Amino acid sequence: MSGHSKWATIKRKKGAKDAARGKVFTRFIREITIAARMGGGDPGGNPRLRTAIAAAKGANMPNDNIDRAIKKGTGELEGTTIEEIIYEGYGPMGVAILVEVATDNRNRTASEIRHLFTKFGGNLGAVGSVVWMFDEKGVIGVDRKGVTEEQVLEAALEAGAEDVDTEPEDRFRVITAPDALHSVSGALERQKLQIIEATHDRIPKTTKMLSENEAERFLKFYELIEEQDDVQRVFANFEIPDAVMEKLGS
């Protein structure tokens, strides 16, 4: 099992703590606001907004919060201008990192991200220096309850998906081309499959294996990056042996 996938599973278990602090809600609000600004406030005609709303509701965000975020995006309510930026670079042990942020202060965010990279012996790179090491894919999480792998695989391939990943404990991960995410997700819903998430992911083409000591240091850096207020998502090409990942996640 890929250490990166295992870490993603552990992060989901930690998600309740983030939600309790309101950090998850902040990320969803920014994503909804940006999606509404770029594609309009009607989720029926805006797949990105529809996906963001579904994810927010899955985290039990109140409808009032969602509505306000949409209205800020469409300009019906006053709000600060939020822009999306991707930072690229190498973290501890030379692991390639992509950091997606949504910020209302580019200079502040750049300073915070650069400080953490430098603190842990990494460095930020120029645009395009790391992104080529990742394939962008659509990822749809399908609840495992009441369905078999064969049922999900058949429905997914019929809908135009590329593959089904069976690693996570609570879901099947249906992999699609980036532009097929919403059409495949809709097709699976029509097949009465329970969709947990539908999002774009960046999957590393190659991974760097870390020892236990290296993993401890790298994951500390990784978590600190993720905890920055403006950070939406972080992608990295690390891999950690199962035994080490289980020990670190216990």
Cα 107 from chain centre: 23
Per-residue pLDDT, 17? 53
Q: For 126-243, list the strands marked E by DSSP.
A: 134-143, 163-165, 171-176, 195-204, 208-209, 231-236, 238-239
Which two structure tokens, joined as six digits, stand for 63?
A: 């409808």
Residue pair 212/245 in contact (Cβ under 8 Å)? The answer is no
Residues pairing with 103 in the sheet = 83
Residue type, 118: T
In angstroms, the CA 3 to CA 7 distance is 6
Cα 250 to Cα 241: distance, rounded to the nearest angstrom = 14
- Block means of pLDDT (10 residues each) for the chain, 250 residues, are 50 53 79 90 86 82 92 86 92 94 92 95 93 93 89 93 82 91 88 85 91 90 90 90 72
Bridge partners, 229 (sequence order): none
Q: Domain spans of the chain? A: 3-74
CATH superfamily, region 3-74: Integrase, N-terminal zinc-binding domain (1.10.10.200)
* Confidence (pTM): 0.80
pLDDT of residue 23: 73
pLDDT value of residue 1: 33
- 89: β partners: 97, 124
